Amino acid sequence: MEHQSALSLVSTCQEITSTLNHLRNGEKTIYWEGLAGSSIALFAAATADTIGGKHLFILEDKEAAAYFLNDLQGCAGKNQNALFFPASMKNPYQIEDTDNANVVYRAEVLERMNSEKTLMIVSYPEALFEKVPSQKKLVNHTMKIEVSKEYTLDFLNELLLEYGFDRVDFVYAPGQFAIRGGILDVFSFSADHPFRVEFFWR
C-alpha cells in the first residue's frame, strides 16, 4: 500500500473523526491508546492533514524527534511539509559552541512559518527552550547591500564579525565570510549557498 493511500485510509477512520470532533469542541488534551511504532506518526499526519494549518509535535528528546520526523515525512507523501526544529547549540546552554547547520535549519523553519499556511514542525524541549530573535530584532540586525551605493570593506568586516560571522580564507559553511581584494563572499545562516559581492574602486 502506498503512503498516500495509507494516509487517506487513516484519515477516514473513526478514531481520527473522534479526535477532530474533540479538537473542534475546544478540548486541549487528547490521549490516543493502542498506537505503536510508526502508527503514531501516521495518525498525527492524518489529523494534521485533515485540519490543515500549522502543527508542532514535541518529542521527549532529539533522537525521538528525529525518528518521529522520519516517520512523519514518510506518511506525508509528496507534500513533504514536515520540518525539524533543532537546538543550535552542540551542548546545552553553551552559546559559544553552536552548530551552524542547525542554525540554518532553525532559520528555515521560522521563515517557512511566516510564508506557508500548512506546516508540521517536529522538535524537542531543549530546542524550544532556546530563545528566538523577535521580528523587530531580526529586522534591526539585517544588512541589505544595494547596487550603486558606497560601502567600505572595513565597515562590512566589522559588521559581520559583530553579527557572529567567522572570517575565513574560503567560505564553505553558514556563518562564514571571506574578503579578498574587492570581493566579499558571505554564507548567510538563512541561505543554501554563499553570496558573492564584487566592489569597484573609485
Spatial contact of 7 and 75, defined as CB atoms under 8 Å apart: yes
| 55, 18: one domain | yes
| 117, 187: one domain | no
**Spatial distance between the Cα atoms of 18 and 30, rounded to a whole number of angstroms:** 10
| 83, 124: one domain | yes
What is the value of pTM for the model shown? 0.66
| 24, 117: one domain | yes
**Spatial distance between the Cα atoms of 202 and 19, rounded to a whole number of angstroms:** 67
Looking at residue 178, what is its pLDDT? 94
**Spatial distance between the Cα atoms of 184 and 174, rounded to a whole number of angstroms:** 14
CATH of the domain at 165: 3.30.2060.10
Looking at residue 1, what is its pLDDT? 46
Looking at residue 74, what is its pLDDT? 82
For 39-51, the DSSP string reads: HHHHHHHHHHHHH
Picking from 71, 97, 129, the residue at the C-terminal end of a domain is 129
Query: Can you give the residue range of the structural domain that contains 28?
Result: 3-129
Q: How many domains does the chain have?
A: 2
Write out the chain's pLDDT in tens, 202 residues: 444 567 777 777 788 888 888 888 888 788 888 888 888 888 888 888 888 888 999 999 999 999 999 988 887 655 568 899 998 876 655 555 667 678 778 878 887 887 788 899 999 998 988 877 666 776 677 777 888 888 888 889 998 998 888 999 999 888 899 999 889 999 887 677 889 989 887 6
Looking at residue 78, what is its pLDDT? 52
Cell of 102: 542547525
Helices 14-24, 39-51: inter-axial angle, 10-degree rounding? 50
Give residue-wise pLDDT tens across range 123-154.
999 898 887 766 677 667 777 788 888 888 88
Looking at residue 108, what is its pLDDT? 81
| 94, 147: one domain | no
In a domain, 49, yes or no: yes
CA atoms within 13 A on the CB side of 78: 4
